[in-house]
Amino acid sequence: AGPGTIAEALIRGLPIILNDFIPGQEVGNVPYVVDNGAGVFSKSPKETAELVARWFGPGAEERKRMSENALKLAQPEAVFDIVRDIHELSQEQGVKAQISSSLTSSFFMPSPEASHCPSPIPLV
């Protein structure tokens, strides 16, 4: 699973069952989840089914413990921290962000600066 999926599960306090990862970009996700007790790595569909059956049966305490660990790892404010960091960096560099309030696409409504671009094809 990717970091977005894992982050969402952690924020909700859901124990995670990982069954694969993309070599390179997701390889660290498995030990992060497993070593912190927020989930498990399953090698087969049969093993996954057994885990789910155990978690909702006699292994409910294991599921609850993983849920608690997931909540401890959760960083629900992370997106705001990232935005704040980007804003601070842009201020340090003297960059001023310009946000357009227009809801129209620049492809269909070119700005005056884009007058060198070909006219858009009218939609009929």
pLDDT digits over 49-97, tens only? 999 999 999 889 999 999 999 999 999 898 899 999 998 888 887 755 4
This prediction's pTM? 0.65
Please say if the pLDDT value at position 116 is more than 50.
no
Q: What long-range pairs does 26-30 form, CB within 8 A, spacing at least 24?
A: 26/1, 26/2, 29/1, 29/2, 29/3
Please say if the pLDDT value at position 10 is more than 90.
yes
Is residue 5 very low, low, confident or very high in pLDDT (cuts 50, 70, 90)? very high
Strands (E), 36-119: 39-41
What is the DSSP-derived secondary structure letter of residue 108?
T
Q: What's residue 96's pLDDT?
A: 54
The token pair at 73 is 């790892």
Is residue 26 very low, low, confident or very high in pLDDT (cuts 50, 70, 90)? confident
Q: Which amino acid is at 89?
A: L
CA distance 96 to 68: 42
Least confident range from 12-16, 42-46, 73-77, 116-120: namely 116-120
The token pair at 88 is 């601070």
